[in-house]
């Protein structure tokens, strides 16, 4: 059940069989199913657990008083939605399902015991949290400095690489189950502008988007258009010195 999380963490350090088994056991203890557009947690809730996405997509978002919504991040299989949130008094944003979602609810005492027992896992979780923070910083740059075509190309590059990390791409293709309205709320663009930007990327043969299926014929070309540097995803295995010997 935790295979996607294990694949992601092993981009940082190789885990032992015991550590992998502990993650699998932890993820299987309490599994919750959600429907599309159903909230996992609301802004203002007091978190007492962490939520690990097993299958499906979710997003972090905030809604203004007039109903406008800003999507601040996407959670895909293997992502922990709120690793440190149980330390806080209340959630400062909401997390909602985009597709049908299967998630593991892990009590805070369980995650504390897990990280205390396995220091390598604790450091891998630190790495994961730091990458999450780096993604948030990159999104600020993306939405404030890049032009619309660059913004969308950058988002597609990031999502493709993150999906590839956890084994959810096939050759040059992956599933991107978001609507044009979702893209607008992510990139700060109107739906009309989103549609026009998608058409520009298609016309340049940089993407093929059919329904939920995204194909990137030439990832390097799309990265060049996006001014994309994947250094913020920290894929260079900084934790190799802690690799398990198994």
CATH of the domain at 210: 1.10.10.10
Both tokens assigned to 224: 């060049």
pLDDT at 159: 98
Report the pLDDT value the prediction gives residue 43, as an integer from 0 to 100: 86
Integer-rounded Cα Rg, in Å, for the chain is: 18
**165 in a domain, yes or no?**
yes
**Beta strands 213-215; 208-210: pairing state:** antiparallel
Distance CA 91, CA 43 (A): 5
Average pLDDT along the chain, 246 residues, taken 10 residues at a time: 93 93 95 95 84 96 93 96 72 92 92 92 92 95 96 98 96 96 96 96 96 96 97 81 71
Asked whether residue 92 falls in the same domain as residue 185, the answer is: no
CATH number at residue 70: 2.60.120.10
> Does residue 132 share a domain with residue 184?
no
Query: What confidence score (pLDDT) does residue 163 get?
Result: 97
Domain identity same for 157 and 129: no
The pLDDT assigned to 239 comes to 64
Write down the pLDDT at residue 106. Answer: 92
Domain that holds residue 114: 3-136
The answer to whether 134 and 232 have CB atoms below 8 angstroms apart is: yes
Structure token pair of residue 149: 């075509």
- Residues ≥6 apart with Cβ < 8 Å to 82: 41, 47, 50, 51, 91, 95
pLDDT of residue 243: 74
Do 170 and 211 reside in the same domain of the chain? yes
> What's the confidence (pLDDT) of residue 244?
75
Q: 173 and 128 in one domain? A: no
What was the pLDDT predicted at 77? 97
How many CA atoms does the CB half-sphere of 27 hold within 13 Å?
22
Answer yes or no: do 221 and 113 share one domain: no
Give residue 85's pLDDT: 67
Instruction: Please give the biggest Cα pair distance in the chain.
Output: 55
Spatial distance between the Cα atoms of 206 and 226, rounded to a whole number of angstroms: 11
Specify the pairing of strand 69-75 against strand 58-63: antiparallel
Which of 136, 170, 202 is the C-terminal boundary of a domain?
136
Distance CA 189, CA 204 (A): 20
Any idea what DSSP says for residue 231? G
- The pLDDT value recorded for residue 246 is 62
- Per-residue pLDDT at 200: 97
Q: Which tokens sit at 143? A: 């939405």
Please tell me whether residues 125 and 155 are part of one structural domain: no
Residues 152 and 131 placed together within one structural domain of the fold:
no
- Give the count of domains, the chain: 2
């Amino acid at each position: 059940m935790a295979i996607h999380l294990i694949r992601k963490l092993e981009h940082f350090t190789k885990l032992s069989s015991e550590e992998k088994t502990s993650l699998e056991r932890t993820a299987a203890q309490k599994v919750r199913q959600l429907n599309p557009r159903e909230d996992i947690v609301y802004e203002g809730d007091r978190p007492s657990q962490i939520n690990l996405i097993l299958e499906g997509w979710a997003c972090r978002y905030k809604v203004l008083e007039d109903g406008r919504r800003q999507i601040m991040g996407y959670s895909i299989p293997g992502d922990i939605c709120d690793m440190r949130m149980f330390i806080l008094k209340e959630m400062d944003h909401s997390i909602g399902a985009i597709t049908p979602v299967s998630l593991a609810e892990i009590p805070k005492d369980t995650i504390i015991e897990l990280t205390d027992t396995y220091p390598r896992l604790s450091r891998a979780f630190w790495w994961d949290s730091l990458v999450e923070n780096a993604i948030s910083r990159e999104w600020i740059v993306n939405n404030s400095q890049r032009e619309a075509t660059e913004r969308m190309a950058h988002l597609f590059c990031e999502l493709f690489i993150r999906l590839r990390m956890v084994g959810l791409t096939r050759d040059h293709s992956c599933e991107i189950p978001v609507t044009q309205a979702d893209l607008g709320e992510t990139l700060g663009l109107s739906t009309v502008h989103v549609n026009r930007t998608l058409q520009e990327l298609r016309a340049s043969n940089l993407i093929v988007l059919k329904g939920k299926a995204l194909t990137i014929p030439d990832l390097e070309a799309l990265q060049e258009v996006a001014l994309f540097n994947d250094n913020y995803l920290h894929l260079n295995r900084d934790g190799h010195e802690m690799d398990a010997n198994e």
